[in-house]
Amino acid sequence: MKIKVVNSLLVLVLFVASNALAQNEPPKNWFNLDAQNDQVNGMSTEKAYEYLKGRKSKTVVVAVIDSGIDINHEDLKDVIWTNPNEIAGNGIDDDHNGYVDDIHGWNFIGGKEGENVGPDSYEVTREYKKLLPKYENKKPSKKADYEYWVQVRDAYLDDAQKADMQYHFYDSLRSSILRYNKLMTAYLDVDKLTTDNLNTVKSEDPIIQLAAGFMSNLVAKVGDMDMEDVASSLDMAVDYYGTQANYSYNLDYDSRKIVGDDPTNLKEVGYGNNDVSGKGTDNFHGTHVAGIIAAERNNGIGIDGVANNVRIMAVRAVPDGDERDKDVANAIRYAVDNGAQIINMSFGKAFSPNKPYVDEAVKYAESKGVLLVHAAGNSGEDTDEANNYPTKNLDKGKVATNWIEVGASSWGDDKLAASFSNYGKKNVDLFAPGVEIYSTAPDNEYKEAQGTSMASPAAAGVAALVLSYFPNLKPEDLKDILMSSVRTFDGLMVNKPGAKGEKIDFTDLSVSGGIINAYEAVKLADSRKISSK
């Protein structure tokens, strides 16, 4: 799930704003708190546990299809799923499921020799490369196919050019800051540049004039910040657009050389490896997601996840780029076949060339009684109009009954809908906390992150909590309870995601019109006299 860097000053603005607004940040566990008791728009998780006190629960297996999980993290190691039918390290497929030594899950983007895919191309890049020989300078055959090609071509060429320009801009800006800061501090014989000492510069040297003017403008914007800190704050943008230029839009990059599979054989079983942490790659995203759902509660360290009786099945299928339909579908099937009752999917993309195969996997999960929870996306778009795959909308107008699409909310009423969140009166089911979420990070660390990628596991955690105390619930019934018990905000006008200065009724952003609420959900499940035995 990508978050775009929008303009040349965004990283600097975020850096300054994070310091200036530090005193206005919500509690680190705000997503589990209650609006009435704690004055933040959390999910009332702690209140739900008060209601459930003294009751027994059953363990729920939640599969996290993501970038990999640090399964040795201090706050996760005791909640990681272990395959009861597999013997670790013997090189044998003991349970005959097609995956050798899948002790804690499976990695669909790894190779047999232990290598793992980190960065990967975007789906639009792969589609452009595939269709280019067929349509470039040639007459169209089928109109619909040609229109699709034009959509792919225009999207690829436009986005690839922007990424290349942004990469060189940020890289040049960072270099200029470091270079001119070093030059001017030496020229003025000072430790730190200020507006006052820069105003003393009197030189006819054009380089000194350029450097003085550049640094004067920068100092005016960032104040007393250390210039090396300012430069390093641009690292995120340089890395982001550098990855795009070198991998995401690179027509020659092929990650499947690492995996060693046949990309055209969608039903291939056994490719990949059992390294669910994704050694050598960035597994922050998956680790953060897992912590929101299941970081061990009440252990006196780190954070408390949402659900208190779960096991996390780690399924690695999401690179730093776009996940592939083959891997998504096979990951869903793997999770279902190995006992997952809920699957969290914090990823998405605009093109899905093998959508029918993914749809089959979704229907398979539906037939097996498995709930799928999916992030709505971070483009500030109406997904009733824009594409975000995978989707609950299947072939022939069928809509998956086992699917919950989740938008991201914040803690305060004034900015209740996250500015980046996708929305949709038909296609987004509900909202959940997704702004400044504090959770687990690799190597026993804890960090904040935001996105619908965080909102989805928050909702999945509530679903797991409810299911653990009311285990007879079918996915469609569990979804109905979660949707019917949302906290609503009648008549509350909020900033419309992705639109500056435009307001919208929060009710109109999703099917349910509200934010998931654990307390109301368990009360509703209880009122329906659903047996927990």
Task: For residue range 255-314, list pLDDT tens digits in order.
Answer: 999 999 999 999 999 999 999 999 999 999 999 999 999 999 999 999 999 999 999 999
pLDDT digits (tens, 9 = 90+) for 2-18: 433 333 334 333 334 34
Examine the pLDDT at 386 and tell me if it is beyond 70.
yes
- If asked whether residues 114 and 151 sit together in one domain, one would say no
| Confidence category of residue 533, pLDDT binned at 50, 70, 90 | very low
Burial class (CB in 10 A: 0-12, 13-18, 19+), 430: buried
| Per-residue model confidence as pLDDT tens digits over 308-351 | 999 999 999 999 999 999 999 999 999 999 999 999 999 999 99
The model's pLDDT over 402-433, given as tens digits with 9 standing for 90+, comes to 999 999 999 987 789 999 999 999 999 999 99
Q: Are residues 51 and 113 in the same domain?
A: yes
C-beta of residue 109 within 8 angstroms of C-beta of residue 66: no
State how far the Cα of 408 lies from the Cα of 428, in Å rounded to an integer: 10
| 59/75 Cα distance (integer angstroms) | 17
260 lies in some domain: no
What percent of the chain lies above the pLDDT cut of 90? Answer: 87
3 state SS of 382: strand
Q: How far apart are CA 150 and CA 127, in angstroms?
A: 11
In the chain, the number of structural domains is 2
Peptide bond into 27 cis (omega under 30): no
Residues 112 and 138 in one domain: no
Whether 22 shows a pLDDT value over 90: the answer reads: no
The answer as to whether 259 is a domain residue is: no
> Mean per-residue pLDDT for 74-80?
98
Domain contains 92: yes
Burial of 438 (0-12, 13-18, 19+ CB in 10 A): buried
Q: Are residues 350 and 453 in the same domain?
A: yes
Three-class SS state of 264: coil
How far apart, in Å, are the Cα atoms of 2 and each of 122, 187, 347, 384, 440?
Answer: 11, 42, 8, 19, 20
- CA 357 – CA 353 distance, rounded (Å): 9
pLDDT of residue 227: 92
The verdict on residue 261 lying in a domain is no
Q: Three-class SS of residue 372?
A: strand
On whether both 180 and 40 belong to a single domain, the answer is no
Compute the average pLDDT of residues 246-252: 96
203 and 290, same domain (yes or no): no
Sheet arrangement for strand 403-409: 105-107, 310-316, 60-66, 342-345, 371-375, 403-409, 430-433, 514-515, 487-488
**Each residue of 507-522: pLDDT tens digit?**
999 999 999 999 999 9
Non-local (6+) Cβ contacts of 197 within 8 A are 188, 190
Write the DSSP symbol of residue 27.
P
Beta bridge partners of 440: 446
- Tell me the C-alpha distance between 407 and 428, whole Å: 7
Alpha-carbon distance values, 504 to 30, 111, 376, 492 (Å):
24, 48, 18, 8
pLDDT at residue 385 is higher than 80: yes
CATH number of the domain residue 47 falls in: 3.40.50.200
Q: Angle at which helices 45-52 and 452-469 pack, to 10 degrees? A: 0
Query: Which structure tokens are listed for 62?
Result: 């939640």
Q: Which range (131-145, 173-187, 346-360) has the least confidence?
A: 131-145
Give the separation between CA 7 and CA 11, rounded to whole angstroms: 8
pLDDT, tens digit (0-9, with 9 covering 90-100), for 465-484: 999 999 999 999 999 999 99
Q: Is residue 176 assigned to a domain? A: yes
**Could you tell me the end-to-end alpha-carbon distance of the chain, in angstroms, rounded to an integer?**
38
Domain stop point among 212, 245, 278: 245
Q: Are 105 and 161 in the same domain? A: no
Whether 37 is in a domain gets the answer yes
Residues whose CB falls within 8 Å of the CB of residue 58, separated by 6 or more in sequence, listed in order = 309, 468, 471
Quick one: 133 exposed, middle or buried, by C-beta within 10 A (0-12, 13-18, 19+)? exposed
**Residue 335 included in any domain:** yes
Cβ–Cβ under 8 Å, residues 388 and 376: yes
What CA dihedral angle connects 474, 480, 486 and 491, to 10 degrees? 170
User: From CA 32, how far away is CA 384, in angstroms rounded?
Assistant: 29
> Which pLDDT value is given to residue 16?
40
452-469 and 284-294 helices, crossing angle to 10°: 30
3-state secondary structure of 386: coil
pLDDT at 530: 55
Domain containing 182: what range? Answer: 134-245
pLDDT at 89: 92
Q: Are residues 319 and 221 in the same domain?
A: no
**φ, ψ for residue 374 (rounded to 5)?**
-130, 140
Domain boundary residue, one of 230, 245, 260: 245
Residue 302 per-residue DSSP state: S
The verdict on 414 and 464 lying in the same domain is yes
Tokens 């450097």 belong to residue: 211
C-alpha to C-alpha distances, 243 to 164, 235, 432, nearest whole angstrom: 10, 12, 30
The mean predicted confidence, pLDDT, of the chain is 93
Question: Per-residue pLDDT for 20 more than 70?
Answer: no
| Residues 435 and 308 reside in one and the same domain | yes
φ and ψ at residue 25, rounded to 5 degrees: -75, 150
What confidence category does residue 138 fall into, taking pLDDT thresholds of 50, 70 and 90?
confident
Same domain flag for 145 and 223? yes
Q: Does some domain include residue 65?
A: yes
Q: Measure the CA angle with vertex 483, ends 105 and 395; round to 5°.
A: 65
User: Quick one: CA dihedral 208, 212, 214, 215, positive or negative?
Assistant: positive
DSSP state of 267: T
* 273 and 236 in a common domain: no
Place of tokens 């997952």: 340
Instruction: Determine what percent of the chain is predicted with pLDDT higher than 70.
Output: 95
